Amino acid sequence: MSRLLCSDHEENLNIAESELSYLKPQQKMYMLSGSNKKPPLPEVVRQEMDHTLSVQSPRLSALLPLLLFLLIFVGSGLYYTLQGVEFAFYQVKAPVAALPAVLLALLAGQYSFNEKLRVFVQGIGDGGIITMCLVFLLAGAFSSVMQAIGGVESTINCGLSIIPSSFVLPGLFVIAAFISTSMGTSMGTIAAVAPIAVGFAGATSLTPALTVGAVVGGAMFGDNLSVISDTTIAATRTQGCAMRDKFKQNARVAIPAGLLTLLLLFTLGQGAEVPPVEPWQFARVLPYLVVLILALTGLNVLLVLSAGIVLAGMTGIAVAPAYTLASWADDIYQGFGNMQEIMILSMFIGGIAAVMQAQGGLEWISRLVSRFMNYCRLSGRKGGGLAIGLLVSLCNLFTANNTVAIIISGSVARDIARRNEVSPQTSASVLDIFSCVVQGVIPYGAQILLAGSIAGLSPLQLSGQIWYCWVLAAGGLLMILMDKSDRNSKDFEG
- Domain assignment present for 27: no
Q: 219 with 259, same domain?
A: yes
Q: 330 with 370, same domain?
A: no
DSSP 475: H
- Please give the backbone phi and psi of residue 423, each rounded to the nearest 5 degrees, phi first: -65, 150
pLDDT in the model for residue 213: 93
- Domain assignment present for 96: no
pLDDT in the model for residue 231: 82
pLDDT in the model for residue 276: 65
d(CA 426, CA 60): 30
Q: What pTM does this model have?
A: 0.64
Q: 320 with 259, same domain?
A: yes
d(CA 188, CA 231): 15
What's the chain's average pLDDT? Answer: 78
Q: 378 with 448, same domain?
A: yes
- Domain assignment present for 261: yes
d(CA 414, CA 404): 16
Q: 395 with 334, same domain?
A: no
Let me know how long the chain is: 494
d(CA 59, CA 64): 10
Query: Coil, strand or helix: which one is 2?
Result: helix
Q: 137 is in which domain, residue-wise?
A: 127-227+243-341
Domain boundary among 341, 369, 402: 341
pLDDT in the model for residue 275: 63
Q: 269 with 392, same domain?
A: no
pLDDT digits (tens, 9 = 90+) for 374-429: 777 666 788 888 889 988 998 888 777 787 778 767 777 887 888 888 889 999 99
Q: 248 with 365, same domain?
A: no
d(CA 316, CA 375): 64
Q: 145 with 277, same domain?
A: yes
DSSP 62: G
Q: 188 with 256, same domain?
A: yes
Q: 209 with 269, same domain?
A: yes
- Mean pLDDT per 10-residue section of the chain, whose length is 494 residues: 38 37 37 38 37 59 84 82 72 85 87 88 84 82 85 72 79 85 76 83 83 93 81 82 86 94 90 68 84 75 87 90 90 88 82 84 76 71 87 82 76 82 91 93 84 84 90 92 58 42
Q: How far is CA 198 from CA 102, 213, 384, 491, in A?
A: 33, 10, 41, 45
pLDDT digits (tens, 9 = 90+) for 437-469: 999 998 878 888 888 888 888 888 888 899 999
d(CA 40, CA 179): 53
Q: 198 with 296, same domain?
A: yes
Count of domains for the chain = 2
pLDDT in the model for residue 50: 41
Q: 293 with 430, same domain?
A: no
pLDDT in the model for residue 53: 52
